[in-house]
Amino acid sequence: MANLVEPHGGKGLVCALLHGGALEAEQERAAGMKQIEVSARAKGDLIMMGIGGFSPLTGFMGKADWKGICENFQMADGTFWPVPITLDVTKAEADSFKTGEEIALVRNGVVLATMKVDEKFEMSDADKKWECEKVFRGEGEESQGDTFWKIAEEDHPGVIMVMAQKEVNIAGPVKVLSEGTYPTEYKGVYLTPAETRAMFEERNWSNVAALQLRNPMHRSHEYLCKIAVEVCDGVLIHSLIGNLKPGDIPADTRVQAIDILIENYFVKDNVINAGYPLDMRYAGPREGLLHATFRQNYGVNNMLIGRDHAGVGDFYGLFEAQEIFDKIPQTGDTGKDLQCRPMKIDWTFYCHKCDGMASLRTCNHTKDDRVILSGTKLRKALSEGAEIVDHFGRIEVLDHLKLYYGSLTEKVEVKMQAAASGESM
């Protein structure tokens, strides 16, 4: 049997999703509860709590956890966690139920979960700004001095999301009643942590890497994945299938593109194409840590971290998401500390003189010899109908993506940041 990394938190997989008679009984109880409409982000968070992806969380966080995570990456009990998982409501909604009361959490008419409200805490604009400073501000050009707030409130999706939150956060344990449409819409791709662990066990994988994707796989992604295949038992190609920002490519198109790539350019037994139901938070380095944290729950002990991981604009340093792994606190308790480690890969590209994929660690040629690859650069070229540079992607994948872009009636402008253009190489 494979010896997989233990789930984060030292308590095994903590799953809030109900089944069978317990589910039916709770659905009946929920019909008599106060209903609160939640965001798409909260829906993804609830599903992750349901399936164990957010182990050891049992519900939305209270003020002590929120503050500890923002300040020092730790919940109140010392357990590592990089990004607050909170639920916001209006003051009027908060006043409509008492602490200790159970409420139903609803999204577009579907009851997703019930929640016992243990705590309410107000979030002023100053509190939200403080959270943004701690979670979203990085070391890139757009995070320097007064520039951050001049740009972030209009151009940083994560900051915009937090500043738009309602006046009160509520905290407490949840019972999850629905996984939404993911099990049917993405059948065979949407996998729970228990399912991926079973697949790893079946294949006798114990040393597993994950590749995080929100863009279609280009040659750099393929290269990163193949590096991991060479040194690990297998790789989980793990795509975000929750909500993205305007201009990003829909999940079904990306999943199909990965299938095409695996079919033509991988040994299938060494990779698994899967998806997870979160929305992007665009938290750059902190989101890289979140990716590693919940991948540990999926049975992954190595997180591939390349250039500008989970970045947006020029808010983050090119390799800040790698460096942050060396700065997080360590308690010495394997249950509380992050056990999924980063596989730090340098800037990768196609080099004409090397006649293949290479990185700054292996190639001594000049920028003029290299094809700089990035998901943003690819999306921009495809959205504008521009010619795709040779060696940027596999022709079968590019043809599939061109069909998608050709079907669009409305184009979304894709902003090109320095990290994607290669200007700062």
Question: Could you list the active site residues?
Answer: 214-215
C-alpha of 95 from chain center: 33
**Selection from 296, 83, 277, 285 nearest residue 183 by Cα:** 277
Residue 204 Ramachandran class (φ > 0 left, ψ -120 to 50 alpha, else beta)? left
**Selection from 234, 228, 217 nearest residue 344 by Cα:** 228
Query: Which burial class, exposed, middle or buried, applies to 287 when counting CB atoms under 10 A from its CB (0-12, 13-18, 19+)?
Result: buried
Total residues belonging to the chain = 425
Q: Which residues pair with residue 275 across a beta bridge? A: 190, 239
Residue 261 is inside which H or E element, if any?
helix 251-265
How far apart, in Å, are the Cα atoms of 417 and each of 122, 129, 333, 345? 36, 24, 40, 20
Give every CB contact of residue 104 below 8 A, 6+ residues apart in sequence: 30, 31, 33, 34, 35, 36, 111, 113, 114, 115
Residue 63 is inside which H or E element, if any?
helix 63-72
- Spatial distance between the Cα atoms of 89 and 168, rounded to a whole number of angstroms: 5
Is 407:253 a contact under the CB 8 Å cutoff? no
Query: Which burial class, exposed, middle or buried, applies to 3 when counting CB atoms under 10 A from its CB (0-12, 13-18, 19+)?
Result: exposed
Is 299:203 a contact under the CB 8 Å cutoff? no
C-alpha of 398 from chain center: 24
DSSP assignment of 351-381, as one string?
A: ETTTTEEEETTT--S-GGGEEE--HHHHHHH
Q: Which residues of 86-98 are buried (b: 16+ CB within 10 A; e: fewer)?
A: bbbbeeebbeebe
